[in-house]
Amino acid sequence: MSAQKKDKNPYKICTWQPESECVGCALADNLKCRFNRGDLIHFMGLFIMFALPSFIGVILGGWGWYLLGWFAFSMFFFYVWESYILCRHCPYYAEEDKTLHCIANYGVYKLWKYAPQPMNRSERIQLFIGFLILIGYPFPFMLVSGQYLFALIAFWAAVMFFWTLRKDTCSQCVNFSCPLNTVPKERVDAYLQLNPVMRDAWKRDAEENQIS
């Protein structure tokens, strides 16, 4: 039997359809709905601006080995926890591939199955807890060792990271149920109309929440 070519877009998500099919779509200029290398570099640059002073501050403070704990938590968070509570709900996750190709967590191995329904309340709360641990981890080490300047730079970079992200990315991101997402409802509805698998899952979710 000849090997059948795998469908790369089994959920028929428009983000993964051929780009030629997007011609004329009114959402194209308002959503980050297709992978763009520039968006990924922008995201990574913002994160590095926070991570770099944190690294330096922790090392100069004499706690360098404890960065391994930060690295281990980051791996767990990006590959397992955040991937489950946030990314598996994202249209970028719907692509049939072992790794994620998106504008932030590019290259993460996909452990979970795509979940077209919105994030639930517990997942939204967990996301904030995860961010708090991820961003907060280096600060105690810098503060107890008197690395106040690097702590201040890292704190400012973390504020800028979230401020810029929310302004430039969350306002156009297609993971609409993320608690940081600020895409206007009419655009969310328009995207859902183009994606029946998501639209039906969101509808079912809304009905279940009304009943409970």
* Residue 173 β-bridge partners: 32
Q: Which residues of 17-38 are buried (b: 16+ CB within 10 A; e: fewer)?
A: eeeeeeeeeebeeebbbbeeee
DSSP E strands, 133-200: none
- DSSP class of residue 173 equals B
**Minimum gap (Å) between residue 49 Cβ and ligand SF4:** 18
- Can you point out the beta strands (E) in the chain? none
Q: How far is the CB of 106 from ligand SF4 (least distance, A)?
A: 8
Minimum gap (Å) between residue 125 Cβ and ligand SF4 = 16
Identity at 167, one-letter amino acid code: K
Q: End-to-end alpha-carbon separation of the chain, Å? A: 49
- Closest approach of ligand SF4 to the CB of residue 183, in Å: 11
Q: Which residue number, 63 or 93, has a Cβ lying nearer to ligand SF4?
A: 93
Nearest CB to ligand SF4, comparing residues 58 and 94: 94
DSSP 45: H
Here the tokens at position 200 are: 């039906």
Please name the amino acid found at residue 189. Answer: D
Query: Shortest gap between Cβ of 90 and ligand SF4 (angstroms)?
Result: 3
Tokens 């051929």 appear where?
18
Q: Output the six-digit token pair for 10.
A: 């089994």
Q: Kindly tell me which of 103 and 135 has the beta carbon lying closer to ligand SF4.
A: 103
| C-beta closer to ligand SF4: residue 145 or 171 | 171
Which residue ranges make up the site for ligand SF4 (CB under 6 A)?
Answer: 14-15, 22, 25, 27-28, 31, 33-34, 86-87, 90, 92-93, 100, 102-105, 175, 191, 194
